[in-house]
Structure 1
Amino acid sequence: MRKLLIFSTVLLTLISMLYSCQTAEKVEQDAYYVNGRDIYIAQCQNCHGEKGEGLAELSPPITDTVWMKKNRSLLACIIKHGYATPVTIHGKVYEGKMPDFNMADIDLTQIIVYVTNTFGHKQGKYTTEQVAKDLQNCK
């Protein structure tokens, strides 16, 4: 009985260790997500809302998964340089101007990781290299 108890304890410990191990990439992604959430709260939440719902007629929601996927490569440009082009989200046109937020590439990366993996989105990893590439393509 005692051997069974020891064996069970060791087995449960090994199983929990396997499930708790994360890759360095996953740990980095999680850190970006948390830091991005903090940036979102400080810089974006006033206009785009706590749940990404937007602000009445002024700021569009960021909950449209199709729009977010289609425009993912524009997000760094939009955040860094602002945006004045009308946007249609969930069939509604928003014509307000988004101000620019002259953020470092790492901050842009973190906020993009957060907004593309929250509010119903599951777009996964985004890197500072991708942000740099996307910023080179800004119009």
Structure 2
Amino acid sequence: MITAIVSSCQSDAQVEFSRYYAGGASIYQEHCQNCHGEKGEGLQSLIPPLTDSIYLKNNKKLLACFLQNGLKGKITVNKSDFDDEMKPTDLAPIEIAKVLTYVTNSFGNKMGTVNLQMVEGDLAKCR
């Protein structure tokens, strides 16, 4: 009953964020945590951390493309260079939206909901 009362006090945006974030946490654990770490810390000089909100903010429109198509080539995150390959995922656009909501709002990041419409728009522009 308390959950119902608390839920009824949340705005639609808060409910949407909670749904995406919770779903994204389980997707992250299944598909991303093995490489990027439980706390998004990455793996030394091999796999970049997800804790640098500057990199995430500067590349927000590309993050869905990175997940769908993978990422090759040198990137700089938090003043460290990484030049390994991230393989493409087989995640559906809604799963990409959920995991991006989780990542961009965890590990010290606070970037708000990444919804399905945003991801579909970003995916349509992938190079």
State the structure with bigger RCO (CA 8 A, min sep 6), 1 or 2: 2
Whether the aligned pair in 2 keeps the contact of 1:109 and 1:126 (CA below 8 Å) is yes
RMSD between superposed Cα atoms in Å: 1.5
| Cα deviation, residue 18, structure 1 | 8.1
Match of 1:58 in 2: 46
Match of 2:74 in 1: 86
State how far apart, in whole Å, the 1-side matches of 2:104 and 2:47 are: 17
Match of 1:130 in 2: 118
Whether the aligned pair in 2 keeps the contact of 1:81 and 1:102 (CA below 8 Å) is no
Instruction: Tell me if 1:44 matches 2:32.
Output: yes
Q: How does 1:1-139 map to 2 (within 5 A)?
A: 21-139=9-127
User: Please, what TM-score do these two structures have when normalized by structure 1?
Assistant: 0.84
- Give the number of equivalent residue pairs: 123
**Aligned sequence identity (%):** 41
Whether the aligned pair in 1 keeps the contact of 2:55 and 2:78 (CA below 8 Å) is no
* Gap regions ≥5 residues in structure 1: 1-16
Aligned residue for 1:41, secondary structure, equals helix
